[in-house]
Amino acid sequence: MQSENFDIIFAGSGMAGLTLAYRGLKEGVWQKERILIIDRDAKDTNDRTWCFWQNEGSESPFRDVFYHSWKELSFFTNEGMHIRLENGSYAYNIIRSIDFYRFVLSYLRACSQVTFIHDHILSLKSTADGGIVETEKAAYQAKFIFNSTYVKPKLKKSNQYFLQHFKGVTIHTEQFRGNPAEMYLMDFRTSQEHGTTFFYVLPITENRIFIEYTIFSKSLLEKDAYDRKIVEYITTVLKITDYKILESEFGAIPMTDYRFKRRSGNIMHIGTAGGDTRASSGYTFTNTQKTVSKILASYREKGHPFSIKENINQKHKLLDATILKVLDNQVYQGHEIFSDLFTNVKGKTVFAFLDSESSMQDDLRIMRSLKAKHFIMPFLQTLLHRL
């Protein structure tokens, strides 16, 4: 099979790949490089929503596509206790994928050095002077390949592998009784038989609400089960009986202590494929942005993308792996862990921890907020496996 040559190839055009391509060109890091972006999807539908917190004064290259932001955040325990979070300068933001795709792709398609191919990627191979991406129709070669196509890794017996699976719906209703300026970060007022289960509630306007049913477990539910629980929550907890579903989405994010490779020769793995998903929470957007910044800084300074320090450090990976082990033991339930955490620790401290920006003092506050007896043995087991 004859191959075509480029300077840079992006295998996958999801959030991670498009972020790096857009920022690399927008920030002038790549000026003359020929760039190829390969994905079988056209990215022309609203297939997911990205949520993340950020200090209000922080810059973001995607602020123009923030769909909404909230400063007032709440948490509900399984028993119904309402906790208003002290989130300091953090705001909770939401980006709809369709807005992100349109914003980024309109810029990239105007760049003459960028080529798009819609095809199914079969394999990636590192070579002595670059790498090759093979698709169903052709093969393409480049000096650097950025891969964001996720494939479930081959796990060891000691690895934990949970899924954060969810169904979200946007509804229109005139019966919402909540505060439109307040979002529910985690609402555990739902049954817990399938695992750690909660709802996000994000009021976009007084009558337009995004509601997401989320579960941390090792297997998916039957499709109808998500719909039944959403209807039950809307009618019995939010007390809304008259509403219309405008949009819906479904997804599953891996939460695992598997040690992802960042680099395979001249192939650089980014996004979930590169370990940018936080194992204890599933949050990916902020970690990916930080990885992209480090890749571009390396390219500016070294002429290659490989000289980066991981954002999720070994300390946080060890703590995340321990939390997954505790969830697997099912003695200290997930809703109890998060309730103890948000009851005893300020929201801003939790956010700093989940963004891998917490101090040792912050980490100690978090550990003291939880029932230590359930963590001691899982921590030692996790540490032993890692050593």
Query: How many angstroms separate the CA atoms of 124 and 140, rounded?
Result: 10
Residue 220 has what DSSP assignment?
P
Interval 18-74: pLDDT, tens: 999 999 999 999 999 999 999 999 999 999 999 999 998 788 999 999 999 999 999
What are the structure tokens assigned to 288, written together? 């990916």
Interval 133-161: pLDDT, tens: 999 999 999 999 999 999 999 999 999 99
| Distant-in-sequence, close-in-space partners of 362: CB < 8 Å, separation ≥ 6 | 349, 352, 353
Measure CA 192 to chain center.
23
Strands of the chain (E only): list them: 3-11, 35-38, 49-55, 68-70, 72-76, 82-84, 90-96, 114-117, 121-127, 130-135, 139-147, 161-173, 182-187, 196-203, 208-217, 243-256, 263-264, 267-269
Interval 66-103: pLDDT, tens: 999 999 999 999 999 999 999 999 999 999 999 999 99
Strands of 27-153 (E only): list them: 35-38, 49-55, 68-70, 72-76, 82-84, 90-96, 114-117, 121-127, 130-135, 139-147
**What integer pLDDT is reported at residue 385 of this predicted model?**
82
> Residue 108: how many CB atoms within 10 A of its CB?
19
Please, are residues 286 and 264 in contact by the beta-carbon 8 Å criterion? no
What are the structure tokens assigned to 163, written together? 């899924």
Interval 165-217: pLDDT, tens: 999 999 999 999 999 999 999 999 999 999 999 999 999 999 999 999 999 99
Q: Does the pLDDT at position 1 exceed 70? A: no
Interval 204-242: pLDDT, tens: 999 999 999 999 999 999 999 999 999 999 999 999 999
Interval 250-277: pLDDT, tens: 999 999 999 999 999 999 999 999 999 9
pTM of the entire predicted model: 0.95
Q: Does the pLDDT at position 113 exceed 70? A: yes
Burial 30-50 (b: 16+ CB within 10 A, else e): beebbbbbbbeeebeeeebbb
Using DSSP's 3-state secondary structure scheme, residue 196 falls into strand
Burial 176-206 (b: 16+ CB within 10 A, else e): bebebebbbbbbbbbeeebbbbbbbbbbeee
Amino acid at 48: R
Burial environment of residue 174 by CB neighbours within 10 A (0 to 12, 13 to 18, 19 or more): exposed
Q: Does the pLDDT at position 2 exceed 70? A: no
CA atoms within 13 A on the CB side of 86: 6
Please, are residues 225 and 250 in contact by the beta-carbon 8 Å criterion? no
Number of H helices and number of E strands within the chain?
9, 18
Percent of the chain past pLDDT 90, that is, above it, reads 92
Residue 189 has what DSSP assignment?
-
Interval 276-323: pLDDT, tens: 999 999 999 999 999 999 999 999 999 999 999 999 989 899 999 999
Indicate the Cα dihedral angle 260, 63, 358, 159, nearest 10°: -20
**What integer pLDDT is reported at residue 386 of this predicted model?**
80
**What integer pLDDT is reported at residue 29 of this predicted model?**
97
Please, are residues 8 and 142 in contact by the beta-carbon 8 Å criterion? yes
- Nearest Cα to Cα of residue 49 among 202, 265, 218: 202
Using DSSP's 3-state secondary structure scheme, residue 234 falls into helix
